[in-house]
Amino acid sequence: MRASNGKRRGGFILPTTLLVMTVLTVMLAAAFVLVSAEYRVTDNSFASSRALALAQAGLQNYFATGHNLTGAADSTVFTFSNGYARVAAFKLRDPSATHQALWVVRSIGFDTVRAQPGQPNGQRAIAQFAQFQPGVLPGLAAVVAPNGVEFTGSGNAPDGSDASFCSPSSSNYGMVVPPGGLSGPSMPAPTGTPAGVNPLYTSAAQIIDSTRIDWPALLGGQFTPDYTTSPPCLDARQTSGGFPVGLCNGNASLNNRRYGLLVVTGNVTLESGVHWDGILVVGGNVNANRANVIVHGMIITGLSGPSVAPDTLQRGNTIQWASCYNGPSVATLSGLVPIKNAWVDNWSTY
């Protein structure tokens, strides 16, 4: 009887053990599957978030840089440390008398962080509707100086007739200064067509207002230059064939040949041998009391206020209106401006 009972107990323990092990194995496998699923869901969420951040970074970089939007579409790629963004802009509506051109800018962020085997990398597409706003900077004269001009030496004065190499021509005033704003021995008569000093403005404040430059707002951040340089700002871009927009925070001392539009918060010294093709926008004054100074374009000074000292210009230098340089310099201020509350998440990529 005892042996028989032992056999029965032994025969009962083995199946029970196998059953328990099987149940535990199934439960452990289920736990691993659950953990793997949770990990994959979490990893996918992180990848999607990274892709969204990349798409947003690409979109912001696109709006912060200038682009040639003369056609109906434009595209570029921005590369980051953990992925890249492919940005494309499409024109939806041409400008009219009552509406600006309407564009949509799509950005697709691609996360390149290594994913789990069999799992695709994160990808996210967003879009932003925007309006194209052309740059506006009225061309008043070769020299616009609400702070006045003091001449030295003898010879020619600023010339408002268009440079001979510009075609078609677009002549302007030689200078715009307030009444009584010219000083110096034997003050020269500015040349150009129409010649002379623009008589339409009766005060420095009117001249500053006519430039349409909101100087406090510009210094407050409502201006995005292509590059920023520090005094003496000798590293202002020298890019033949291009017209970059620069910002100098302080006084500038310019030499050699340079192109584009440069905003200077302080004063500007034009060294002997300088050749500027484009526009200088200056909060303080301009000192061009040196020989061999050439400016083809436009100079605007004295925007900081009535306390700015007069410009000093040496007669005989070439300071001449040049529409073919002013136009491209102003055009670089054009760009897409995002429309408020017009950002779209999960934009279709087809």
Please state whether 324 falls in left (phi above 0), alpha (psi between -120 and 50) or beta.
alpha
Instruction: Enumerate long-range contacts of 91-98, CB under 8 Å, 24 or more apart.
Output: 91/132, 95/132
The tens-digit pLDDT sequence of the chain (350 residues) is 455 555 555 566 767 777 777 777 777 776 666 656 555 666 677 788 889 999 999 999 898 776 767 788 999 999 998 899 999 999 999 888 788 889 999 999 999 887 666 667 888 999 999 998 777 788 889 999 999 999 998 888 888 889 989 987 788 888 888 888 888 877 777 776 554 566 667 788 889 988 888 899 888 877 778 888 888 887 666 655 578 888 999 999 988 888 889 999 999 999 999 999 999 999 999 999 988 999 999 999 999 988 899 999 998 899 999 998 988 888 777 788 888 889 888 787 65
User: Coil, helix or strand for 19?
Assistant: helix
- How many folded domains does the chain comprise? 2
Which range marks the domain in which residue 11 is found? 1-134+334-350
pLDDT at 31: 65
Residues 47 and 101 grouped into a single domain: yes
Residues 145 and 242 grouped into a single domain: yes
pLDDT at 297: 93
pLDDT at 103: 93
Residues 69 and 174 grouped into a single domain: no
pLDDT at 3: 54
DSSP per-residue codes, 155-195: S---B-SPPTT-SS----EEEE--TT-EESTTPPPPBSSS-
Q: Which two tokens stand for residue 54?
A: 């990349």
Residues 85 and 199 grouped into a single domain: no
Query: What does the alpha-carbon distance between residue 309 and residue 299 come to, in Å, rounded to a whole number?
Result: 15
Residues 212 and 176 grouped into a single domain: yes
Residues 321 and 338 grouped into a single domain: no
Residues 324 and 300 grouped into a single domain: yes
Residues 121 and 55 grouped into a single domain: yes
Residues 165 and 98 grouped into a single domain: no
Q: Which of 220, 299, 239 is nearest to 267 (CA)?
A: 299
Residues 114 and 231 grouped into a single domain: no
pTM for this predicted structure? 0.68
pLDDT at 105: 94
Residues 150 and 210 grouped into a single domain: yes
Residues 122 and 159 grouped into a single domain: no
Question: Rounded to 5 degrees, what angle do the CA atoms 88, 89, 90 make?
Answer: 125
